Amino acid sequence: MDIINTLLNIVVPPIGLTSLLFFLPPYLFFKFLLSTIKPLFRENVAGKVVLIAGASSGIGEHLAYEYARRGACLALVARREHRLQHVASRAMSIGSPDVLIIPADVSKVEDCNRFVDVTVNHFGRLDHLVNNAGIAPICMFEETPDVNNLAPAMDINFWGSVYSTYFAIPHLKRSQGRIVGVASSAGWLRVPRLSMYSASKTAVISFYETLRVEIGDEVGITIVTPGLIESEMTQGKFLNKEGRLVLDQELRDAEVSLMPVLPVKEAAEAIVDGACQGENYLTVPAWVKQSFYWKVFSPEILEWGNRILLMSRSGDERDTLSKKILDISGLKDLVYPDTIRSPWIREH
């Protein structure tokens, strides 16, 4: 067996690289042609049923509005019932024929079973499942006083997607529906203080890619990997090392630094467009996808750059080179939308 693996180690790399160079140009050309045709066959979601988990703010809230504009019926899930009522009212006013709100915690398997059942019992079907619920612990891994403080990242970001998908699949198969899994470009970008967030989003991507292999074309799966999008997270709301939700815009500036933040309305429109066009992968804004190729071909350079720009040498995690550049340059007004420059944020 060692001889076989030794032989494969010698033979496979040159054959694999040659095959890739031969196959890649026609494949990319085919994908380009397909991208020009897909808009002609865009799914009409008017009257269809869309369940959105994590619909009380940010991307999930604006996905609700975007689906509503297209005439979809909505089931909105989140823990904050008062926020869901606000989102539901606005969604009805801009075109949704029926909106159901279901207060629930996606980290609890029984809640996920319940909100899928309630949705199907109310509407009689389910066409799109949008898993958007998420939370971001931001701290150096070794500095958290209790490693259990980081558990919500996996419980909400990963298991929340797994649980709801498990209960929704039978209904989505009947409608030949679609799952929209909102992961993150942090699934391949390794940024300090986001170790558990990145791990949870990498897990989400891997889960949906494997599920796509298992179920084939019975249910469509769109994996969304946003960059920095206007949201409560980019406003500075996250879990600190003690496991408490806090608002810390100084640390937000150190983490986000000079990266431009995309207005959430534009992101939501692009995501719903991508889902309705049957995209397998979607990165918003699109330019962020280029960082994936840096990750594949030169990971050391990417890691070195993130360490230089985003790590503090003084021991103060808010004292990073990237934040100094942001403060000195005065670029915050240019790269941050108005809503995330304000210290105001919605209540938990």
C-alpha separations of 259 from 98, 255, 262, 275, 347 in Å: 38, 9, 10, 26, 26
172 near 126, Cβ under 8 Å?
yes
Record the tokens describing residue 22, joined without a space. 């031969």
Q: Which residues contact 70 (CB under 8 A, 6 or more apart)?
A: 44, 45, 46, 95, 272, 276
| 197 included as an active-site residue | yes
Q: How far apart are CA 191 and CA 201, in angstroms?
A: 13
Q: Is the peptide bond before 285 cis (omega within 30 degrees of 0)?
A: yes
154 near 199, Cβ under 8 Å?
yes
- Helix ranges (H only) for the chain are 2-37, 58-69, 81-93, 109-123, 151-152, 160-175, 195-215, 249-256, 264-276, 290-297, 299-310, 321-329, 332-335, 338-341
Q: How far apart are CA 94 and CA 110, in angstroms?
A: 32
- The one catalytic residue in 65, 163, 197, 336 is 197
User: Which residues are known to be catalytic?
Assistant: 197
